Amino acid sequence: MPVPGVQAVAGGLGGPGTAPPGPDAAELSAVLGYLKPEDVAHIERAYETARAAHAGQYRKSGEPYITHPLAVAKILAEWHLDPQALMAALLHDVVEDTQTTKTEIARRYGKPVADLVDGVSKIDRIEFATLQHAQAENFRKMLLAMARDVRVILIKLADRLHNMRTLDAVHAEKQERIARETLEIYAPIANRLGLNAIYYELEDLGFRYLHPTRFRVLEKALARARGNRRDAVGKLREAIQARLAEFRIDAQVHGREKHISSIYKKMQEKNISFSEVFDIYGFRILVPDVGACYLALGALHTMYKPIPGKFKDYIAIPKANGYQSLHTTLFGPFGMPVEVQIRTPDMHKVAEAGVASHWLYKSAEEQGKDVQLKTHQWLQSLLEIQSESGDALEFLEHIKVDLFPEEVYVFSPKGKIFSLPRGATPIDFAYSVHTDVGNHCVAARVNGETVPLGTQLRNGDRVEIVTDPESRPNPVWLSYVATGKARSHIRHYLKTMQSAESAEVGELLLVQALRSLKANPHEVGEEHWKRFFKGDSANTRAEVLADIGLGKRLAVVVAKKLLATPEAAAEGAGRLDSVTIRGTEGLAVQFAPCCRPIPGDPIIAQIKKGQGLVVHTHDCPAIHPFHFDPEKWVDVQWDPAPGRLFDVNVRLTAANQRGVLARLAAEISEADSNIDHIETEERASSAYTTIVFTIQVRNRMHLAQVFRRMRRIPEVVRLSRLKKKPS
C-alpha cells in the first residue's frame, strides 16, 4: 500500500519514464512517509543523478552499484533524517567514483548537500606514503567534517553498516582489514554517539569477519544454549512481571539475548569458557516514568538479592552519550546471575538511537537536545585536538583514546559532574576543566586528601586541582594520562617549548661557529639569511636555529653558508674554500663506513690524525653536534663526474620464500650494480627475513634505480638505506 506523500512523485523513486525501481528503491519509498511531497521530489532527483552517474558500475557481489547508496539512504530514512542527509546519502559516492564534482552537486542540490558529500568522500586524489597515513588522513577529514555537522558521521556509519552487511563479496584479506577498521573506529564512534543498535551490529559483524572460526563456534553454542534455557528464561520473565504487578507497576518486561561479540569479550576478560557464561540472557524493563524506575528496582531487590558492586544509576548520572538506565545484576534461581536494565520508553528511544533520536522521536525531544549538547561538546573537543596534533596519525591516536571510554564519573568542588574514561587521573580532570588549569596544575586533592597526580580516579570522587601560574606540563604526565584531550595539549605545549629552547641552544652554537670562522655574528644580517634560504628547505631563521639545537644541522655548515659571498652563492658553490672530492683520492681521503656517502649526498669531512680526511654525510649519526670542533672539519663537495663505484649499506625485509635472494641478485646485476657483502639479521618472525648487504653504485640516482628494480619483487616489503653509528 502506498505511503502518504510518496505518490506525489510520479513513478516513485525511479522517476517518470525510467525502468521500474528495484526492491531497494521501493523499500526506500516505503519509509519516506514522514517527509513532505516536495522533499520526496528532491530526493527522487538525487536518486536519478546517482543512478545515471553509477550506470554500468557493479559491486563485488554483482549487484548494480546504485543498490548501495539506496541501502544507505534507507537506513537514514529509518532514523527519519532530513532530506539533505538523504540526498547526500544517495550521492555520497558520486564524487569519489564518477566524474561528478562537488561544484555540480552544490549547483543542483545546494551547498549543504555538497558539504555533506565532501565530508563523507575519501581523500583519494592525494598520494600518501603508506595506507596507514591515507586511512588516518581520511578519518581526520571525516571527523572534522563531523565536528561541523553530525550528519556526516551518521551517513558514514550507515555506509559502513551496509558495507559490513555485504562483506561476504570481497576477499578474505580485505574482509579482515575492513573488519579491524570497523572495530577500531566506526563501532566506537557509534557507541560514543549513543547509537546502540548500530554499535552492536557493527561489533558482531566485525567479530564475524575478523575471527570467523570463533564466531561460528560461539554462534552454534549460543543456538544450543538458547534451546536449553528458553523455558527457564520464560518462567523468569513471568515471575518478574508478576512481582512488578504486585507493586502496581505498569511495566513491559522483555528478555534479551547478549550479542556474540559481548559474550566473546566477557570470555576474554574473565578468561572463562562459553559454558561458564551464565548471563547470556538479560531483561529490559520499560516503565512509565522515572519514579517507577526506582520503584521497579526496589521490587526486584525484594525478589532476588542484588550482586554487590553491580548496580549503576545512569539516570541520575547519564553516560557521556546521553544514555540513561538503571542497571542491576541479581542472584537469580539456581545462583544464575540475571542482568536487568530499567528505563522509560523515552530513555529507551535515546538508548537505541542516540544522537539520531533528535530526528527520530519527537517525544524524546528534551532528551534529544541533551544528547545533541553532549555530542556537540565532544565534537568541539575534536577540533581542539586537531589544532594541536602534528599529523593525521597523531590525531587518530588521540581520538582512539577517547573512543574507548568506560566512563568514570567524578565531581568538581562545586558539584559539577565530569565524565572521564576509566584510568583517568587528576591531570585528565584538570584538562577537561580548562586547558590553562591543566597546563598550570601542580597538585590535586581527591575527597579532601592530597594525592599524586598519577592517581587513577574512581566513580564518585570529588577532585580539586591546585594550580601555579609558573608551573608547566611535565613530560612524565604523558605516561599516565588517559584522555586524548590531555595528551594532545601536553604534547603541543612540550613541542612548542622544545622548539623555543632548541632555537636558543642553536643560536649559541651558531654564534660559536661564526666566531670560529673569524666572523662577527653581529654583522650577519637579513641579506645573509635571504641568500641562505635560497635553495634551502627551511623558511624561517627560528626553524634553522631549532634544527641546529636539536642536532639536525651542523652549526659550522650553516655558518659557512651564511658567510658565502653573493658570487659564490650565484655559482652554486654555497661553501667557502671547499675541497672537491673525486672519489679517487686513496689514503688521503676515506669514506666513513658508518654512513658510506655517495655522490649526491651533502657531505662534510673530518680531519683525523694519521687518516687524512674522513668524509661523512651531513646527517650521519656519528657526528655529534654538541662535541663539534669546527677546527677539525673541512667543507667538501663532490666532483661533477667522479670515476668510481661507492659502497652503500642497505637493509631489506622480504617474505621468507624460496628464490627471493636469487631474484634480488639478478635485479641488482641488471641495474649495473654489484653485491659486495651480505648478512642476515635475527628473525623476529619466521614469515619474513631481514637482510643487510652492501652494494656498489655510482651516485644517488644510480642507487634510486637499483631500489626501483628491487621493489619490483612482490616479496619485498621494506627497503631502506642504512646509516648507523660506528660500534
Work out the angle between the directed axes of helices 131-148 and 151-165 (0-180°, nearest 10): 130
* 401, three cell numbers: 583514546
619: its cell numbers = 646527517
**Which residues have CB under 8 Å from 714's CB, separation 6+?**
none
Radius of gyration in angstroms for the set of CA atoms belonging to the chain, rounded to a whole number = 33
Give the Cα separation of 499 and 495 in Å (integer).
6
Q: Which one of 48, 63, 96, 257 is the catalytic residue?
A: 96
Cα 374 to Cα 710: distance, rounded to the nearest angstrom: 53
Helices marked H in 182-309: 187-192, 196-210, 212-246, 260-270, 290-303
What does 564-615 look like in DSSP terms, one character per residue?
A: --HHHHHTT--SSSPEEE-S--GGGEEE-TTT---TTS-EEEEEETTTEEEE
| Rounded distance between C-alpha atoms, residue 337 and residue 615, angstroms | 74
Q: 282: which 3 cell numbers?
A: 538479560
| DSSP, res 253 | E
| Pairwise CA distance, residues 581 & 233, whole Å | 86
Distance CA 123, CA 139 (A): 10
* Residue 25 to residue 502: CA distance in whole angstroms: 62
Distance CA 605, CA 723 (A): 16
**For residue 68, what is its C-alpha cell?**
548501495
| Tally of CA atoms within 13 A in the half-sphere of 439 that contains its CB | 13
- 207, 213 contact by CB (below 8 A): no
Residue 97 appears among annotated catalytic residues: yes
**Lookup result for grid cell 502518504:** 4
Helix (H) or strand (E) holding 513: helix 484-516
Q: Is 96 a catalytic residue?
A: yes
Question: Which is the catalytic residue, given 63, 78, 82, 97?
Answer: 97
The arrangement of strands across the sheet holding 646-655 comes to 674-680, 688-697, 646-655, 716-721
CB 494 within 8 A of CB 475: yes
Angle, helices 212-246/260-270, rounded to nearest 10 degrees = 100
Sign of CA dihedral 85, 91, 96, 102: negative
Length of the chain: 727
Sign of CA dihedral 492, 494, 497, 498: negative
In terms of phi and psi (left: phi > 0; alpha: psi -120 to 50; beta: otherwise), the region of 641 is beta
What is the torsional sign of CA 66, 71, 72, 76? positive
Q: Are 358 and 461 in contact (CB under 8 A)?
A: no
Q: Is the CB of residue 478 less than 8 Å from the CB of residue 491?
A: yes
Distance of CA 187 to the CA centre of its chain: 13
Catalytic positions, please?
A: 96-97
